[in-house]
């Protein structure tokens, strides 16, 4: 059976930097309050004219350049996002057209913060079965256009940012490859982290002919999300270790979804590992949902934190609830 490897990474974030001090001018909050609860110092917010597609397109071009391939070699596109430009079709169709990739398969995955690992897993399967040779996998979000940026929406407004990260996945016979991926979901918790509208369930668009703004903005039960995240992250990381007969001591770097620095600390404590092997860049970008892991992975590579032969683990937890991990030999 074929194996797949990541041969190129790239990311792109909007130029518009929003600091905690900026938020405190609009929302009843403070830099100390935000940093204490999340570890975030600043984030990027897409301006009105910048869309999720725009971010995905630039991240994709960076990944293609980093991989050193001709874009025409790409034979599939998978995009993870919950903030696509349109209700339908997906960002993947826009990317297919903008990259001039003639009628290749392209589709979106809506698994929130776990979407990049879900997409990576799907790409891995397509390559293993010989159905594709070079796949563009993207995580992209311009989700801050959806959030309530008033004091009422403070718990979400201070956490989230926009951006995109992309990877080129290629068939390989090399010793560097994706070892395994592990995907999970627990749908009974969907209302703890969700956005009800737009949708097709009763009342999820207009109710009694009245527009209800709260249905069209994300809502989160922070306490429940935190409690479940610190449980599922270690579980799914250990699942990857056991499956591949690895010890945590074999892992050079864990790259978790950048949800909250306190979650990363709690996971490190539960796994009895030092925080220096748990990568974090949340202080710069906030929670960029599907874009979080590919942005972090790209920066870790650029910083020299990962070199050939290293074992790394990607891990995510998010709405759905969904959670996932990927073990990779670099």
| List 66, 134, 192, 257, catalytic entry | 257
Here the tokens at position 104 are 């290749």
Is 287 an annotated catalytic residue?
A: yes
| List 20, 57, 62, 113, catalytic entry | 113
Is 113 an annotated catalytic residue?
A: yes
Is 283 an annotated catalytic residue?
A: no
Q: By the 8 A CB rule, do 257 and 316 touch?
A: yes
pLDDT per position as a tens digit, 238-259: 999 999 999 999 999 999 999 9
Q: Enumerate residues 6+ apart whose C-beta is below 8 A from 167.
A: 6, 8, 9, 63, 120, 136, 137, 138, 294, 297
| List 66, 182, 287, 311, catalytic entry | 287
What is the reported pLDDT for 214?
A: 85
What is the reported pLDDT for 211?
A: 77
pLDDT per position as a tens digit, 126-152: 999 999 999 999 999 999 999 999 999
Entry pTM: 0.97
pLDDT per position as a tens digit, 92-128: 999 999 999 999 999 999 999 999 999 999 999 999 9
pLDDT per position as a tens digit, 11-67: 999 999 999 999 999 999 999 999 999 999 999 999 999 999 999 999 999 999 999
Confidence class of residue 2 from pLDDT cuts 50, 70 and 90?
confident
- Gap between the terminal Cα atoms of the chain: 19
């Amino acid at each position: 059976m074929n194996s797949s490897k990541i041969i190129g990474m790239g990311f792109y974030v909007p130029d518009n930097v929003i600091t905690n001090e900026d938020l405190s001018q609009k929302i009843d909050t403070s830099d100390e309050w935000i940093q204490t609860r999340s570890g975030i110092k600043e984030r990027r917010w897409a301006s009105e004219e910048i869309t999720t597609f725009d971010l995905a397109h630039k991240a994709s071009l960076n990944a293609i350049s980093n991989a050193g391939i001709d874009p025409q070699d790409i034979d599939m596109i998978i995009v993870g996002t919950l903030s696509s430009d349109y209700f339908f079709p997906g960002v993947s169709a826009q990317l297919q057209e903008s990259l001039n990739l003639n009628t290749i398969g392209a589709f979106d995955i809506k698994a929130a913060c776990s979407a990049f690992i879900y997409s990576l897993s799907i790409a891995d399967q397509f390559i293993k079965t010989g159905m594709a040779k070079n796949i563009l996998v993207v995580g992209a979000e311009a989700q801050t256009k959806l959030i309530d940026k008033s004091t009422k929406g403070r718990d979400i407004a201070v956490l989230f940012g926009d951006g995109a990260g992309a990877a080129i996945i290629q068939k390989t016979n090399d010793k560097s490859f994706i070892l395994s991926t592990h995907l999970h979901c627990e749908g009974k918790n969907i209302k703890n982290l969700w956005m009800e509208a737009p949708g097709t369930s009763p009342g999820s668009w207009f109710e009694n002919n009245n527009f209800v703004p709260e249905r069209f903005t994300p809502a989160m039960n922070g306490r429940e999300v935190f409690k479940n995240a610190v449980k599922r992250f270690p579980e799914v990381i250990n699942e990857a270790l056991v499956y591949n007969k690895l010890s945590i001591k074999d892992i050079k770097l864990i790259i978790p979804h950048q949800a909250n620095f306190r979650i990363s600390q709690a996971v490190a404590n539960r796994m009895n590992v030092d925080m220096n092997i748990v990568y974090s860049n949340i202080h710069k970008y906030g929670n960029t949902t599907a874009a979080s892991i590919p942005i972090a992975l790209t920066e870790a590579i650029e910083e020299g934190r990962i070199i050939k032969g290293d074992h790394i683990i990607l891990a995510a937890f998010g709405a759905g609830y969904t959670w996932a991990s990927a073990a990779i030999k670099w």
